[in-house]
Amino acid sequence: MTDLLDILANPAFWVAVLRIATPLILGTLGVLLCERAGVLNLGIEGIMVAGAFTGWLAVYAGAPLWAGVAVAALTGMVFGLLHAFLTVGLALSQHVSGLGITLLATALSYFGYRVSFPKVNTPPTITPFAPMEWLPMPILNAQTALTLFALLLVPAIGWVLYRTPLGLALRMVGENPQAAESQGVSVAATRTGAIVAGSALMGVAGSFLTLSAFNAFFFNMVNGRGWICVALVVFASWRPGKALLGALLFAFFDALQLRLQQSGDAVLPYQIYLMLPYLLSILALVLVARKASYPQALMKPYRKGER
């Protein structure tokens, strides 16, 4: 018990929480944008891998760090466009299209990595983002600018969704596309825009792993984080503020299991601790399921003139 208190009293623990939360915040906001417009995007897992890879590759090739982030965002946008073409343009199954994109983006990234570095065993490294030591705030000054960006994005997206005509159009398209169309809102254009923007965030979420949390690209480094973001959006009832809360809560337990694992007196096999985040996600899904207010048109393809 004192162990637990020791862990919680240590600022390094909270630094870790915020660091673990960052890609989850970015990814969850990305999924949220897509789903608010009525489109499930299961491409996130692969888009994160691709963002992690291309962002890192750009920096390795000599680009500045922020250019690497931009490249990751661009990568996300390309896969987002593909998802939009398949699900909005052709009205194909959103589940299957997303899974296909995850498989494709992952395979392409691994292929690209192997072509670029055929013979290396230790992954080549870059100099990642430095912590913002100049910030006069504890915990936050141990984070990098990408974390600050993720935190600021939460109110920004909340503002766009609830306070701007664009946000209204986006929510309407996700709730009732027929009504939106009759108000002169283009369902196809709005959904495509939301998917592309959301996928850009997923790409950035991936780049955080290679450009900030670590300094190299590893196979399996995304390791299910994307799927957890999909679960977090449900947990957050599609609200940006709650998404932040969910990501932090989740990261809290993840950081805690890491510490408990390291504290040496762990009674259980370490795998049990590693399961916790996934069990927690499922539990969250079940708990929120009953009162979850899905965007009404989520996963329903919209074809003009068809019902």
According to CB under 8 A, which one of 61, 91, 156, 179 is a site residue for other proteins? 91
Q: At 258, is the secondary structure helix, strand, or coil?
A: helix
Displacement of CA 177 from its chain's centroid (Å)? 26
For residues 262 and 219, what is the distance between their CA atoms, to the nearest angstrom?
24
Work out whether 151 is an interface residue with other proteins (CB under 8 A): no
Nearer to other proteins, 100 or 206 (CB): 100
The beta strands (E) that lie in the chain are given as none
Say whether residue 92 binds other proteins (CB under 8 A).
Answer: yes
Long-range contacts of 154-158 (CB under 8 A, 24+ apart): 154/25, 154/29, 154/240, 154/241, 154/243, 154/244, 155/240, 157/29, 157/32, 157/33, 157/240, 158/239, 158/240, 158/241
C-alpha 3/C-alpha 114 separation (Å) is: 43
Instruction: Give the span between the Cα atoms of 307 and 305, in whole angstroms.
Output: 7
d(CA 249, CA 273): 16
> Of 202, 204, 245, which Cα lies nearest the Cα of 227?
202
Among 63, 81, 108, 168, binds other proteins (CB under 8 A): 108
Supply the minimum distance, in Å, between the C-beta of residue 249 and other proteins: 16
Contact region for other proteins (CB under 8 A) — 66-74, 150-158, 199-207, 221-229? 221-229
**Shortest distance, position 246 Cβ to other proteins, whole Å:** 14
Residue 61 binds other proteins, judged by CB under 8 A: no
Which residue do the tokens 């929510």 mark? 171
224 binds other proteins (CB under 8 A): yes
Rounded to a whole number of angstroms, the minimum distance from the CB of residue 129 to other proteins is 28
Q: Report if residue 230 touches other proteins, rule: CB under 8 A.
A: yes
Q: Residue 84 CB, nearest distance to other proteins (Å)?
A: 12
User: Does 106 contact other proteins by CB under 8 A?
Assistant: yes
Q: Note whether 101 binds other proteins by CB under 8 A.
A: yes
- The helix/strand/coil state of 269 is coil
43 or 55: CB nearest other proteins = 43
Near other proteins by CB under 8 A: residue from 78, 81, 110, 139: 110
Examine residue 111 and tell whether it contacts other proteins (CB under 8 A).
yes
* Residues 277-306 within binding reach of other proteins (CB under 8 A): 278-279, 281-282, 285-286, 289-290, 292, 303-304
- Under rule CB under 8 A, how many of the chain's residues touch other proteins? 46
Instruction: Show the tokens assigned to 160.
Output: 């766009």
Is residue 135 close enough to count as binding other proteins by CB under 8 A? no
Reading the block at residue 129, the tokens are 């983002």
What is the smallest separation between the CB atom of 89 and other proteins, expressed in angstroms?
6
Under the binding rule (CB under 8 A), the answer on residue 96 touching other proteins is yes
d(CA 129, CA 74): 19
192 three-state secondary structure: helix
Least distance from other proteins to the Cβ atom of residue 275, Å:
5
**End-to-end C-alpha distance for the chain, whole angstroms:** 59
Report the interface residues with other proteins, using CB under 8 A: 42, 82, 86, 89-93, 95-97, 99-101, 103-104, 106-108, 110-111, 114-115, 118, 224, 227-228, 230-231, 234, 269, 271-272, 274-275, 278-279, 281-282, 285-286, 289-290, 292, 303-304
